[in-house]
Amino acid sequence: MPRPAQTLEPPTIAFCPFCHDGFEGMAECPEHQLTLVPFDSLPRPPAQPLCAVTFSVDPRLGRGGVLLGAAFVLLGFLLPFVRAGGIDASALEAAIDGAHNLWLTPGAACGVLAVLWLRRSAPAMRAARLAVLGLALAGAFPLIYTTRRIAIVADASVAEVHWLWGLAVMCAGLAFSALASVRLGGPGRLGPQAAPGSVGRKI
C-alpha cells in the first residue's frame, strides 16, 4: 500500500523578549537564557510623543478646542444675532448696516485659524498660546461694544431688543478658544508601533 503523504507544517519560530531575535525549535534564547515567546507576546516599545501635525485641521496637540471655538465664532456670525422692532438680523447684516466693528470678531477667528495653519509643530504652537488667547479676547471686545451701543440706541428710541442665539454661539466660541489656548501644543501620542527586532531564523 502506498504510504499516506506527510503533511508539512511550517516551522515554529519563537522570539527572545529581550533581543527580539527569532529561533526555530528552541525554548530559550541561547544568548540571554530567556524563555522564548510568540511574536504577538513580544513587549511593545512605548508610544512616541507626537511632535507635529500635517493637516491644519488636525485636532491633536490641543488644537481641537481652538479649532472648534473659531468655527463657532464664524457660524455664530451668520446666525440670528439681534431682534429689534420685530426684525431679526445676523451679526453679518448688522456689520453691513453700520456696526462695522463687528467685522473684527470673525477677523479674530480667522486669525486663530491662520495661527493653526502656520504653526504645526508642538514648540511653535506652544509659543503661539498667548497670540491665540489675545485674538480670542480681541474678538470679544467688538461684541461688548456693539451690544452696549445697540442697547443704548434702543433705550433712546423706546424699542425692545432681544439678543438671539448667534450672539451666544459667538461668545461660546471665543471663550472656548481662549480656554483651549492653554493646551495648544500640549502632549499627543502616536498609536502603538510594532516592536523592532529581527525575525530571522537562527539554528
Residue 27 counted as domain residue: yes
128 is in which domain, residue-wise? 63-183
Shared domain check, 173 and 138: yes
Distance separating alpha carbons of residues 173 and 75, to the nearest angstrom: 9
Q: What is the pLDDT of residues 29-46, one digit of tens each?
A: 777 766 766 766 666 666
Lowest mean pLDDT among 58-62, 140-144, 191-195: 191-195
Shared domain check, 87 and 10: no
The predicted structure's pLDDT at residue 42: 63
Give the percent of the chain with pLDDT over 70: 74
Concatenate the DSSP letters of all residues of 165-191 into one string: HHHHHHHHHHHHHHHHGGGTT---BPP
Residue 26 counted as domain residue: yes
Residue 25 Ramachandran class (φ > 0 left, ψ -120 to 50 alpha, else beta): left
Q: What is the pLDDT of residues 69-116, one digit of tens each?
A: 999 999 999 999 999 878 899 999 999 998 999 999 999 999 999 999
The predicted structure's pLDDT at residue 155: 81
Shared domain check, 70 and 162: yes
Distance separating alpha carbons of residues 179 and 144, to the nearest angstrom: 19
Shared domain check, 125 and 79: yes
Instruction: Quote the mean pLDDT of the chain.
Output: 82
Q: SS3 for 14?
A: strand
Please give the tally of structural domains in the chain: 2
Q: Please state the pTM of the whole predicted model.
A: 0.69
Shared domain check, 197 and 100: no
**In contact, 101 and 129? CB cutoff 8 Å:** no
Residue 162 counted as domain residue: yes
**170: Cβ–Cβ under 8 A, 6 or more apart, which residues?**
72, 73, 76, 77, 91, 105, 139, 143
Shared domain check, 151 and 91: yes
Shared domain check, 37 and 98: no
For the segment 2-8, the average pLDDT, to the nearest whole number, is 52
DSSP character at residue 24: E
Shared domain check, 174 and 128: yes
Residue 57 counted as domain residue: no
Distance separating alpha carbons of residues 9 and 30, to the nearest angstrom: 24
Residue 55 counted as domain residue: no
In the block, cell 477677523 appears at 107
Shared domain check, 86 and 19: no
Residue 203 predicted with pLDDT over 50: no
Shared domain check, 91 and 40: no
Q: Which of 96, 106, 167 is nearest to 136 (CA)?
A: 106
Please state the three-class secondary structure of 76-135 as a single string. Answer: HHHCEEEEECCEEEEHHHHHHHCCHHHHHHHHHHHHHHHHHHHCCEHHHHHHCHHHHHHH
Residue 37 counted as domain residue: yes
Shared domain check, 34 and 74: no
Question: What phi, psi does 28 have (nearest 5°)?
Answer: -130, 150
